[in-house]
Structure 1
Amino acid sequence: MLEQALAQNGLIAILRGLRPQEAAAVGEVLYAAGFRVIEVPLNSPEPYESIRILRNSLPADCLIGAGTVLTPEQVAQVKEAGGQLIVMPHSDVRVLRAAKAAGLLLAPGVATPTEAFAALAEGADVLKLFPAEQMGPAVVKAWLAVLPAGTLLVPVGGITPENMQSFFDAGARGFGLGSGLFKPGLSAEQVAANAKAYVAAWQALR
């Protein structure tokens, strides 16, 4: 399901700082713009409530997940809230195994080929290349030359509509979007405008 969602639109919305009272409105404008994967980092205010609201208010073809998941206990709470995807800044094997045991989709953060291969061996569905601004497109190209064919490598960190092309040319087929898309204090209308700019850039890549 994650592969299908990213094939339709390879942009993952990272809503760090989202509050429950704005979750439905922000989710709706992102869905309308074409986003099909939305992540609420757990260091946001009342993240499980926001996940619950997004899951209940958006169509079934939109995947709702949690980011900055650090413990197996948090995995269980994400599932209880209706989350379907676990996104991590790292590759703690305890969290990887908890996510797979819970039947959730998994996108761990990797910064070396060793971490990438180890995460795939534990069942990672997507690899989050983090921080992308530090790694660059050359790393994407080099890794994809040795990782199993079909591996989805998603750069996260510092992704803008302007720099997506260089990562895409290197083989990236998805992107995680943070403060360039959403940050606390933005209205749903401002998020919608940012979303449209990213989607236009994504469609231009194809």
Structure 2
Amino acid sequence: MQPTKITETIEAGRIIAIFRGDFEGREEDIVSVLVQAGITAVEVTLNSPRALNSIKLLAVRFGSQIAIGAGTVLKPEEVESVADAGGQFIVSPNRDIHVIQATKRRGMASFPGCFTPSEVVEALQAGADAAKLFPAQCLGVSFVKAMRGPLSHARLIPTGGVTPQAARDYLEAGAWAVGVGSELVSTKVLATGGAEDLCQRALAYVAAVRSQREAGANV
């Protein structure tokens, strides 16, 4: 996918499901459930076991349907590895200009981590496609709404502690998408509830997005 197509795919669902940890080779089965529920983007963090292999497998099977990317990317050389594995977007917990530039050189979408308006502006000026607001639970919905005042052009992705209700609230406040980790995908969820629980959780997030869109359309 081209960067524009990647962002369009993410915007269609507005939920980025984050894989962090050891899923013991079950990633394809998990993503299959997420796709059926309506999730359009998956991020595999590089500090997960066999992360690059997971990205490669997911990109081959699902890369034409949803956006597949990498998270916790801290170095330009890691960007290269993700691109070679077929990744389509790069997410970082921090704002590193060199990582952003390497991402754009490889034709991927760039979502660096930011915590202040200055960091968001600097990231966008460096070529980032959106800014990951992290950790979102320390900033809150009011921060997103306030940020959208002077930075109405900025795509913001609150990440961290995002429940379905929080997802709706962030989107209502002007967020472009949200990043969702263990609240949706975790080894604990799979161990206790399995695929059925995972599907219900995914559907709850998809419903939150739909509800917000319908409310916005009626304003």
Give the TM-score normalised by structure 2: 0.89
Contact 1:20 1:49 in 2 (8 A): no
Q: Tell me, what secondary structure is at the counterpart of 1:116? A: helix
Provide the residue aligned with 1:54 in structure 2: 58
- Gaps of at least 5 residues in structure 2 are 214-219
Provide the residue aligned with 1:167 in structure 2: 170
2:149 is the counterpart of 1:145: yes
**Which of 88, 94, 98 lines up with 2:98 in the alignment?**
94
Q: Deviations over 1:112-163 (max 9, x none)?
A: 111100000011111111111100111111211112x432111100110122
2:68 is the counterpart of 1:67: no
Q: Deviations over 1:66-124 (max 9, x none)?
A: 00001111101101111010000000112111111111110011001111000000111
Identity %: 41
2:180 is the counterpart of 1:177: yes
Provide the residue aligned with 1:203 in structure 2: 210
| Residues 99 and 89 (structure 1), Cα distance of their counterparts in 2 relative to 1, 3 Å cut | same
Residue 164 of structure 1, CA deviation:
2.4
**Which of 23, 30, 40 lines up with 1:36 in the alignment?**
40
Contact 1:19 1:50 in 2 (8 A): no
CA distance in 2 between partners of 1:59 and 1:93 (Å): 26
Residue 193 of structure 1, CA deviation:
2.0
Q: Deviations over 1:22-63 (max 9, x none)?
A: 011011111111111110000111000100111111150311
Contact 1:69 1:86 in 2 (8 A): yes
Q: CA RMSD in A?
A: 1.4
Moved over 3 A (4+): none
**Which of 146, 155, 158 lines up with 1:155 in the alignment?**
158
Number of residue pairs matched by the alignment: 205
Q: Tell me, what secondary structure is at the counterpart of 1:66? A: strand
Provide the residue aligned with 1:192 in structure 2: 199
Instruction: Report which stretch shifted further, 52-61 or 117-126.
Output: 52-61
- Gaps of at least 5 residues in structure 1 are none
CA distance in 2 between partners of 1:18 and 1:51 (Å): 13
CA distance in 2 between partners of 1:55 and 1:18 (Å): 18
Q: Where is the helix percentage greater, Structure 1 or Structure 2? A: 2
Q: Deviations over 1:4-31 (max 9, x none)?
A: 1133110001011143610110111111
Contact 2:6 2:88 in 1 (8 A): no
Provide the residue aligned with 1:132 in structure 2: 136
Aligned partner of 2:135: which letter? Answer: P
Contact 1:5 1:37 in 2 (8 A): yes
Provide the residue aligned with 1:27 in structure 2: 31
Q: Tell me, what secondary structure is at the counterpart of 1:182? A: coil
Q: Tell me, what secondary structure is at the counterpart of 1:39? A: strand
CA distance in 2 between partners of 1:138 and 1:14 (Å): 24
CA distance in 1 between partners of 2:58 and 2:197 (Å): 19
